[in-house]
Amino acid sequence: MEFSEQDYKALIDTEISVDVILGHTDITVRDFLNFSEGDVLGLNKVAGEGGDIYVNHRIIGTGDIIVIDEQLAIRVQDSMDSEKVVNFFFDEKSL
């Protein structure tokens, strides 16, 4: 897809929401309703495997979960190529 420099400049300042998913699991509603403080919910990933980075519900990369000044962060290890990301945002914008 071709886009103008003006389109690119307009896109580049657009705010996006980034989600990092640590893992997932499937449970019943009954099990969910029986959770109480201190219970543990296992996820589908092995410890140290990192998280998946999503933008608009689409995975764009993976990274390691780290702590910086007592806050969680993600160190990007693998990400979608920049041109693909820009094209993805233009496709989303046109919907």
pLDDT, tens only, 10-60:
777 888 889 999 999 999 999 999 999 999 999 998 888 889 999 888 888
Contact between 94 and 87 under an 8 Å Cβ cutoff? The reply is no
**Burial class, 50, CB count within 10 angstroms (exposed 0-12 / middle 13-18 / buried 19+):** buried
**Burial class, 81, CB count within 10 angstroms (exposed 0-12 / middle 13-18 / buried 19+):** exposed
From the list 72, 50, 67, 68, the residue with the least C-alpha distance to 59 is 50
pTM: 0.71
